[in-house]
Every structure is written in C-alpha cells, then in structure tokens.
Structure 1
Amino acid sequence: MNGKQGDNQIQKGNQYNQILEKNVRAMDEDTILTEYLISMMNKIFDPLPVPFILLDKDTKIRMINQVFADFLGFPKEEIIGKPVLQVDKYSRFPYVFKTKKPEIAWKHTFENGHTAIVHRLIVSDENGEVKYAVGMVLFEDLEQFKRIVEKNRLLETELHLYKNQLKEMHGAKYSWDTIIGNSEKMAHAKFIGKRASSSNSNVLILGESGTGKELFAHAIHNGSVRSFSPFVKINSAAIPSELLESELFGYEDGAFTGAKKGGKIGKFELANSGSIFLDEIGDMPLKMQAKLLRVLQEKEFERVGGNSIVKVDVRVIAATNKDLKKLIEEGKFREDLYYRLNVMTLEIPPLRERYGDIEELVTMLLKKLSNQLGRYVSNISDKAKEYLIGHNWPGNVRELENVLERAINLTDSDTILPIHLPVYLTQSAKRVSDGPIRPLKDVIEDTEKEAIVRCLEYTDGNKLKTAKLLNISRSSLYDKMERYGIS
C-alpha cells in the first residue's frame, strides 16, 4: 500500500468515526446505559441457579435468566419484551409498581401451578419514581421452604417463642382515627369511648356481632395512659371452661396432669399495668365469673395449684353481643359482676342504624381488601351502591366486608357491579316493594339471568362454550340474552 492509499484509508476511518459519534450523541443516554446494564445483568445472572427477572415501569420484562424461563416453561426469547401479566396472569408486579412498596418473601402460585416463595423489589430514581422492579424466586419448591422453617423452629428456645408471643399480644393495633363513621349514633359512640379512654374505669362494650367491638377496645387502650403497657385479648367463648381459669390466671408447676414444667403465666399477669380485653364476656361460666369478680374487687388472684397471692393492676375492657340483664334474670350471669363491669358502658350501633357511614366504609374496605387480595378494585357502580345502602345488614360491618370480598373476586375490572353482589342482596329491594312473596316465575328468571352472566364471564364471552356448559342450544342462549338485556 503506497502513502496515498494509506491516507485515503485513514480519511475513510475518520469519517466513519465521525458518523458513529454523531449517532451515539443522538441516542438517549439513559437508553444506552440501560441496554448496557441489562447486557451486564444477563452475563451476571444467567449462569446463577436463582430465578431472576427485571421489569421496566410499563411492567414489560426486560431481562430474565435461563433458570427462571425454564421455571415458567417458556423460551427466553418469547418472554423478553412482553407485559408480565401475559406471562403470569397472577403476577402482583403491577400492584407493586402502583403502591411503590416491595414485597419480601411472599407465597405466590404461578399460572403454571408452581407455588414458590418470592421477592418483589423496586428500583427508584432520586425523585422517588419507580423505574424498574426486580423479582427473585427464593424457594422453587414450597416443601423445601417448609423443611427449612421446621429446622429453624427446632433451634428456637422456649424463651424466644414466648417473646414472640408476647410481642404479638401486647400491642393494640387500632386507634380512633381507624374507626370509620360520622353518623350521629357512631359519633356518639366514639365520644363515649374517648371519655372512657381518659378514665381508668372498667368498660363494658355492647353491640351485635360484627359491629366492631374489638376495634373500640383497641382504641380505648391506645387512647389511655396505659397505651405503652400491654394490651392482652382473650375470647371467653373460644376457650373450654375447664381451661379458662388457667388461661386467665396461669398455673404452678405440677398443678394438673399435662401441666407444663415450671408452670405458666396467665393473661392477667401478662396484662399487668395495661389492659385486658375480655370478649364474649356473656359466655363466661358462672364459676369463672366469681373468680373474675375477686380480681376486679381485690386486684389479686391465685394461680391454679398455687397458694401465693399475685397482685395486679389491670384495667378490664369487656364486650358482649348478649343481653346481660336477661342473662341475670335467667341466673346465667352474676349481677354483682355486671355492676362491676358496667362502669363505663359503650353501645356500638348496628350498621342498619348508620346507613350514612356505608359509602365511607365501602371505600375503606375496598382499599383494605384490594391490598389483601392483590386485585385492584376501587370503584362501585351507583346501582350496586344503592343495593348496599338498601340492605338490612344483619351481619353488620363483617357481612359488608364479606360481600365486598366476594365481589372483588368475581369482577374482572376495577368496578363492582350489581351482578357481582349476592342474589339475596340484590333481590332485597324487590321484596320490599313486591311484598314478602315474589312470583316463582320472577325468581326463576332472576336465577337464570345470573347463571348466564356468570357463565359468560367464566368463558370470556364465548357463547358456544357458554351454551354447552349451560346445556342449552346456542339459539336458545341468544334468545335468553336478548330477553334479559345481556350484552
């Protein structure tokens, strides 16, 4: 090559470099960096035996290592670039992006039926905006995870177990801010409850099942001077009568056959200087009522099988859904105990007496249940809301929560419609106007309509499958859909 040819080659090389630099400058710097990082992550994580995945803010899969692709049962090239819900329709990553909160060691069942323990982590920029999410499978086999947990349990000491138990028991989770409702009766109940918080007197909470008596007990303790001391709960109806005394007051070593070596501390001792919540007090046996009365009067008791006196300073918050005065007349509840407990009485109104609170309760419960279920349902149609407000709610707030949880599981959108509500609830308004008995024809038509709608939802609108599942002809299905106005 002569000198002139060499100069031409150098000149062409310089021109190529200039074009390359110009193109590189035109590219988005973040894109270059991201592609470089993803390339590096592929090299790092692909050989690792731990399933690993990277998603961008649009929930599209940017990187997945081979072991994770094999775990999901897809080739890598079919996964990259797809939204995560197309690969695993049960994925909670869209929810993680929405809440901006990581999920650590969650149990997750993938679309292919595999159940595993997973991490879902977020990567944010300096402004707090989530740019990426990272997923890792910790245990591909749930049995493997269970075996490790079991081994760890064997290594734990009894003292450590007691500490964990005490930590769970000693905290009141709810405050006045977490109790929903501003209707007149609810506002009055909260006013009395706050007054009870500021005193040191015993409290008796009355109300139907499902009205939120335990929430008020938590709030009363949290609002009192005892809020930094233990809050211990016990359900008088859930514990057999022969075991209730030892649960409340503890027992000494060798007190009875099967007693734990060294004895056991009771709930009243655990609650010393704090509060004890005695739920379902109306179901407490008469023998135990006498012992409880002594604790309230003398602030002392003896452990089962013991002779020494144990002094305690405990505030009692009791609750019941029963008529204690009627139980007194029947000889099932001690009158002297009733007056010891009935110092500050708080009556929680049933939901049918506070319809003005239903909308606020629905909003709160939808948010709570969406978090629990991983389903993003935040709206409810006006007609569905109308049915909720028109219902009598014999099960109170607990029934409302169950109805909403059922509806969230049935809907495929972010809105609850009347069809997602139970039949007994949607028909209650008709029963009010039509009288207690409806024509059999109307009942059958309502049931038939609901069956068709649910089957169409199940088959994603496939009318041929729907007709086969309902065991009717396709023309008959079309006729019924037209008659009932089903689109």
Structure 2
Amino acid sequence: MSNYTGEKENLTDDLFIKRLHQIFDPISVPIIMVNKETEVVMINESFADYLGYPRSQILGKKVETVDPNTRFPYVIKNKQPEFAHKHKFINGHTALVHRIPVLDDDGEVVYGFGMVIFDDLRQLQQVLEKNKLLEGKLMIYQEELKSMRGAKYSWNSIIGNSVIMQDVKSIAAKAAKTDSNVLIVGESGTGKELFAHAIHNDSKRFDGPFIKINCAAIPKDLLESELFGYEEGAFTGAKKQGKVGKFELANGGTIFLDEIGDMPLDMQVKILRVLQEKEVERIGGNKTTPIDCRIIAATNRDLAERIKENEFREDLYYRLNVVNIEVPPLRLRKEDVEILTLKLMEKLSHSLGKYVSNITVDALDCLKTYNWPGNIRELENVVERAINMTDSETIEIQHLPTFIIAHNPNEQVEPTTLTSLRHAVDEVEKATILKCLKAVNYNKLKAAKILGISRTSLYEKIEKFKIDAE
C-alpha cells in the first residue's frame, strides 16, 4: 500500500488531511486528491482559488459535483493515468491536467491524484509562440555563425566538365568521406579553397566549424597566437581575457591551412606536434587542451623542392600529404572555359547589377585560346571587365583586353604558317618528352620534375602525342 495509507493507519483522518494540506498548500500548483469513491479528501488553496470555491465547500464532496466535467471517475475505473489532458472547468477555464490513480499492493485504486500543469491555454499558446520565435531566432543565429565559421561552398560550386576535373573531384569526394588529412596543391587561382570547403561540407564534420587561416598573410610573430591562442598576460598587449586559437575554434570540425608552403619552420614544428599529440597549448599557458579537428592544407608551392631547400619539414609533409589533390590549371582544361565564363557572367551580373547574359562566338574563341596564367581568378577579372565595357546584354570581342584579343586565331595572318609552326613546336616537345622518359627509364614522376611540369600535365602530353610510355 502507498505511503499515504501507511501513514493514515497511524493518524486520525482529520490529522491525515491536515498533514496533506500542510504539504501541498505552500505549492502554487493546483493539486487535488480524491478517494476511490471520488470524494475530495484534499485540495490545496491554489486549486480551491482556481475553482472559485472556499475549500470547506469542496472537501468531502464528490468531485463531479464540484466539476461536472471531471474525468476522475473514468481514471479510477480504468486505473490508467492521463497526462497533459486538455480539460475545460465549469468556471470556463481551459487547462492541461494530470490525473493519476494511486494503487495499493493488490492493484486496487485507493486514491486519485490530480494537478493542473498549465491553468490557462492562452498563456500556453503565448509561451509556445514565444518559444517558436526564440527557436527561429536561434536558427538565424546558428546560420549566421555557420556563415562566419562554416564552409560556404559545395561540389556544385566547382565548375568543370572536363575529364581531368571530374577525376580530381572524384578523388576529393572520396577523401571527404574519410577523416584523413588532405593536401591540396595547385597554382594560384585554380580554386583550391573551393575544394577545401566542399570536402568539409561533404564530410561527417559538416555541422562542425570550418576555420581557415592564410599562413602567408599573417606576420610570423602573430601566427603562433592566431593558431594556438594565448592566456591573459602572456605578453605585452595581450587581451585581458586571453584569446582562443584557431585550432581550438576548429574543435569538432576542420581547420584549413592555406598557403602552408610559406609557413615558417619553427611553426611547422608546432603544427607537427599538434598532429602527433592532438592537443594544443596556448602561449603563456601551462596546460594542454585536447582537440579533435581535421586538417586540410593547401599550397601553390612545390613542397618537394621546399624540402630540398630545407624550407619545409619532410616529416610534416608526409603527415599532411595523406590524400593529395592536385587541382589542374585552366590551360589544361580549356574545354571548361565556356561553362566557367557563363557561370561567371551570371554571378558577376548579379553582383554588379548589370544584366549581361550573352557572349559572341569570336569572344569565346579568344578566351579559349588564351593560356590563363592567372587561372580562374584571371578569367573572372577579364569577364568582369567585359561586363563593365559592354553597353548591351552581350560581350563582344572588342570588350576583351588587348592581350586576350592577340590570341584570337582569326587574327593570325597565315593560317597555314600557323599550323606549320604549331606542328614544329609539337614535334620538338614530343621529342623532348620522349628523350627524357628514356633517360629516366620511363619513370613519369622523375620525368615530370626534370621537365618542370606536373604529373597531370605530363600525362596529358603523353596522351596528346600518342607516346608509348610503357
């Protein structure tokens, strides 16, 4: 039997009821107790006031005479509790109530316990609407935080239908599904940062922070504090509350170390320690903080050469270079120039507020012929200039810079001479590559280094000239 009945056996009925009222009267929540005949044996002041009767007029009466809509008879008969049940009282109030049958050891009902958990559904509606508003604001703040500390780009942001670009995207997509460190290499302006964003957004860490830092843009004496943070009073000029470093901010997510090939050697040692120990120590601190973040690094430098020149640590290189992604330059995927130009026209027209949607065939041919040493970044600048130059919705050849027009094949005086010249250049290039391959016993990696080109470029040329490189 319950404690209530156990105590009642040692008390008179009046003393028992008095004890219950002493317990429940200080509670502002309306509470009631009935016996198995549904007679009210206890009701606290809060509930009596809510019903609008003196307590003396309620005690001892059947609860259905006080509140004809009560469901206590049903609850006691079925021995099943009701939680958060919507109930309309005789005084017109609508509330949410609990009704709970109290059973003895034989499973028989001895009491019914009830309480009002929300005495005004209009107030509840206001609370829910306020909570919904707060949730909406929270979502907005979360989105703003993500825009500040999150990755902005996805695979759709990386434009290119060429075979070489699809292969690179395929490798990067596979890397995204792992938690291994990634090294992205490629010339300036090829879109290395886009790959870093896309890898993070397609990884299991997508909802974590994406923290980026340009290792070449921050002065050497500030780089350590940016990466690892510092404690209060660590040095002159330090913030009073100290500062959280980028690695700590990236905990649970990804840190993108751009231009890592320009990182000073002493900092490379500390990055290596973070990779090995998975913990950081703030400047001026005496304790380490464990971190869980993935590292994506990028560089336009030849790290193999930097290692030979003792400008980059070999052990760090192998720690970072778990998955290597080589982003090809635009000159090796000129079939992508057209789609890139159209996408850039759409993007820049929106940002410049000037609608330009067409480009002539001659103008497009000029763009395809040019070698783009500045890669996609240079193409974007050229397209932006052309949009500013045109007075219509079409980019024409005269809207392009002079150095681009100079590469227009239609401007060549003698097409046959041009063909002969190109053929001669191709023959020399083919012979040089073949000679180099033979010299290194067809080791393509060594051949690419000797020729001063990337492996991707070498494979392209082998295929172009139909060289038997086996």
1:363 positional shift? 1.1
Structure number with greater Rg is 2
Which sections of structure 1, spanning at least 5 residues, go unmatched?
1-161, 436-487
Please give the per-residue CA displacement for 1:18-40, whole angstroms capped at 9, x wherever unaligned: xxxxxxxxxxxxxxxxxxxxxxx
1:361 equivalent in alignment to 2:332: no
Contact kept? 2:369, 2:409, Cα under 8 Å: no
1:227 equivalent in alignment to 2:215: no
1:419 equivalent in alignment to 2:398: yes
1-side partners of 2:410 and 2:225: how far apart?
51
Corresponding residue number in structure 1 for 2:184: 205
Please give the per-residue CA displacement for 1:328-349, whole angstroms capped at 9, x wherever unaligned: 0000000000000000000000
Pick the aligned partner of 1:270 from 249, 257, 260: 249
1:401 equivalent in alignment to 2:380: yes
2-side partners of 1:378 and 1:430: how far apart?
24
State how 1:372-387 maps to structure 2 within 5 Å.
372-387=351-366
1:433 positional shift? 4.9
Q: Residues 432, 332 of structure 1: CA spacing in aligned structure 2 closer, same or farther, 3 A cutoff?
A: farther
1-side partners of 2:210 and 2:298: how far apart?
15
Corresponding residue number in structure 2 for 1:305: 284
1:183 positional shift? 0.4
Please give the per-residue CA displacement for 1:327-376, whole angstroms capped at 9, x wherever unaligned: 00000000000000000000000000111111111111000000000000
1:166 positional shift? 5.2
Pick the aligned partner of 1:319 from 280, 286, 298: 298
Corresponding residue number in structure 2 for 1:170: 149
Secondary structure at the residue paired with 2:318?
helix
1:169 positional shift? 3.3
1-side partners of 2:199 and 2:367: how far apart?
30
Q: Residues 323, 198 of structure 1: CA spacing in aligned structure 2 closer, same or farther, 3 A cutoff?
A: same
2-side partners of 1:256 and 1:347: how far apart?
40
2-side partners of 1:408 and 1:271: how far apart?
39
Corresponding residue number in structure 1 for 2:261: 282
Please give the per-residue CA displacement for 1:405-437, whole angstroms capped at 9, x wherever unaligned: 0000010000000110000110124699569xx
1-side partners of 2:146 and 2:244: how far apart?
15
1-side partners of 2:234 and 2:205: how far apart?
32
1:164 positional shift? 10
1-side partners of 2:216 and 2:326: how far apart?
20
Corresponding residue number in structure 2 for 1:142: none
1:168 positional shift? 4.0
Contact kept? 1:169, 1:233, Cα under 8 Å: no
Contact kept? 1:200, 1:315, Cα under 8 Å: yes
Contact kept? 1:169, 1:230, Cα under 8 Å: no
Corresponding residue number in structure 2 for 1:190: 169
Which sections of structure 2, spanning at least 5 residues, go unmatched?
1-140, 415-470
Corresponding residue number in structure 2 for 1:371: 350
Pick the aligned partner of 2:159 from 180, 188, 195: 180
Q: Residues 298, 168 of structure 1: CA spacing in aligned structure 2 closer, same or farther, 3 A cutoff?
A: same
TM-score for the superposition, normalised by structure 1: 0.55
2-side partners of 1:164 and 1:261: how far apart?
29
> Cα RMSD between the aligned structures?
1.9
TM-score for the superposition, normalised by structure 2: 0.57
Q: Percent identity?
A: 64
